[in-house]
Structure formats: C-alpha cells, structure tokens
A = this chain, B = another copy of it.
Amino acid sequence: MLELGGRIGRSQPRGVLIAARGSSDHVAVYAKYVLGQRLGLPVALAAPSLVTIYQGHLHLEGWLTLAISQSGASPDVVSVIAVARDQGSQTVAITDRPDSDLGRAADEVIPLHVGGERSVAATGSFTASLYAVAHLCAGWEDADVEAELDLVAEHVAGALECEGRVRSLAARLADAPALVIIGRGFGFPVALEWSLKLKEVAAMSAEAFSAADYRHGPIALASSGVPVLLCDSAVSAGAELEELERELGGRGVDVYRISDAEESALQIPLGPEWLAPIPAAVPGQLLALHLARARGMDPDSPKGLRKVTETF
C-alpha cells in the first residue's frame, strides 16, 4: 500500500471521489479527513444514485476514484468504479474480496486480508479499511510514519481491554429510549460508525452528529431522557467537546465521554490523532454487542439484515 500510495501521489490527482455504503461510507468520511488534513486534497463522497438512477457521467479526468466495500458485491459501488474508469479516472478498490465484481472492475486492489466477517455487522473489515486508507495516505505523502502505523495494533489491543467497563455502561444504557453520539474532526467518522453498529446490532435509535452541526439544530432535542456519548478521539477538538459536555450536563443530560483522558467514562489508548479512529471504533463495537445482549437480542444475526445488501 505504501508503494501504491507513492505511485498515486506522483500522478498528482486533482481530487478524490469515494464510493461506499454503510460502514464503508464511514471509512470514506475518515478518508475525507485524513487526505484533507495530511495532503490538502478535496474529497467528494459519491452519490451512487447519480450513476445508477440518473445515468450521469462525471467529469473525472485526472481524479482518483476509490471504492470501499468489504464484500465487493454492491452493484451501485461497482457501477461508480466502472463509470469513473470510463471517464479517465484512476480507480482503486479496498475490499476483502479481490476476486469480486468490484475487485475486477478497479485498476488496483488493496486487499483487506480479513478473511470474511462471521457476523452480519461489519467490525474487523471496518477497522481494517480505516487502516488501509491510513497506509494509502502515508505512501502518498511519503511520510516517515511506519512506527506510528505499527503501534495501531497495540492501541486496538488496549481498547479491547475496556470490555468490562463497556458492559457496565451497556447495563446503564439498555433502557434509554434513544442515544445521541457526537464526534468532531477525526472523531466524527467514529461517531457515525458507533451509531450504525448500535442501530444494526442492538436496534437502538442512535443518531450521530458532528459537534458543530449538533449545535446548529439537533441540540434542541437534548433532554434528560436521551444520553449523549462523546467520541473524543480528536485531540484538537477537546476543549470544544468539554464545553459541550458542561452545557449538556447543565441541561440535565447524562453525558459519557470516551477519550484517552483519565476522567473519561471510558478511557482507551488512542495514539496520534490521525490514527485514533481505529482504536476508538472498538468500544462502539463492544457497546453494540453488550447492549444487544442486555436487550435480549442476538448480536450476530440482527433481525431483518442480510450480509450483502444489493442496492442499485
């Protein structure tokens, strides 16, 4: 990936278009932050329906189009790659199935080596996809960050140690009517993924917001019955989230902060900010598991979901 990233970097793409659905779409949001912050690249998240419903042709000469899909089987994501290639874009697929329709449609494939997901909700392929994007960016940037990348596995192992505290938190949240999950900056894709896991696995109404967007309207919902989880994995936004925590506390809202600070409800090791979303995803996955159990559900086979969703 470092080598592929280097090659793409030398070709100086004008911009990056990303096609993805579900959890992979949150990897795309991470890519927007990491490629934007480290490389100054504008990143557009594709609306696949522009290609599949509206038969549009995007002008993508000189662009890089990236598709992210664990199964490589979602027809709309495959269509975006096929159209982008026709339009003169470089195309790269990040997938666990290099031999899938998606893998075959793209110029280059970054294989995830996860070996499949055993349950319906994506977990390992989500963190592996984040890691693939980080690696791609590092190669592109030609930065000396291999030591930082190598430490991520240790931080993920550290995050897994919070399981006991997550179980207690799940017991406290099991009867909440809904949850709000808030992140900012690099913490925003984490909040989005926590929210989706809680919906999919534990059938919990849980909407994610960036701290800034939350203040622009949804804060009107803040009520003492709906607890708020703050995914504070973005060091640079810490002060803002602390202020929000105080404000919500003043309105009688139960707020739980997840960060690497000792006074957090869940303290986990995060490492450098640009890589922090990888360990920060873990307590959300564990929370979905324990909330599902606390609510009497089977976390591996949520009702009404299939592993591969074919949207067009």
Chain A residues within 8 Å of B, Cβ to Cβ? 14-15, 17, 21-23, 25, 32-33, 36-37, 40-45, 47-50, 53-54, 56-60, 62-63, 76, 121, 177-178, 184-185, 188, 196, 199-201, 203, 205, 207, 210-213, 215-223, 226, 234, 236-237, 240, 251, 302-305, 309, 311-312
Contact = CB atoms under 8 A, between A and B. Distances in A.
A129 B292 CA distance: 42
Contacts of A200: 217-218, 220
Given A40-B59, A56-B37, A49 B216 contact: no
A53 B234 contact: yes
Contacts of A33: 47, 50
Contacts of A56: 36-37, 40
28 contacts: A15-B44, A21-B216, A22-B216, A25-B213, A37-B56, A40-B57, A42-B63, A44-B44, A47-B188, A48-B212, A49-B184, A49-B185, A49-B188, A53-B185, A53-B237, A178-B205, A196-B217, A199-B218, A200-B218, A200-B220, A201-B220, A203-B223, A205-B205, A207-B207, A216-B311, A217-B305, A220-B302, A220-B304
A304 B219 contact: yes
A200 B215 CA distance: 11
Contacts of A40: 56-59
A303 B60 CA distance: 45
Contacts of A240: 312
A196 B199 CA distance: 19
A215 B311 contact: yes
Given A21-B216, A40-B57, A200-B218, 19 more contacts: A14-B15, A22-B217, A33-B50, A36-B50, A36-B58, A42-B44, A42-B59, A49-B185, A49-B188, A53-B234, A54-B185, A121-B217, A178-B205, A199-B217, A199-B218, A205-B226, A216-B309, A220-B303, A220-B305
Given A17-B42, A309-B215, A220 B203 contact: yes
Q: How many copies does the complex hold?
A: 2
Contacts of A215: 309, 311
Nearest to A33: B47
Contacts of A203: 220-221, 223
Nearest to A273: B54
A203 B216 CA distance: 14
A35 to B, nearest CB: 10
Residue from the set A14, A47, A215 with the largest chain B CB neighbour count within 10 Å: A47
Contact of A42 (B58, B223, B236, B237): B58
A226 B210 CA distance: 24
A201 to B, nearest CB: 8
A31 to B, nearest CB: 11
Contacts of A213: 21-22, 25
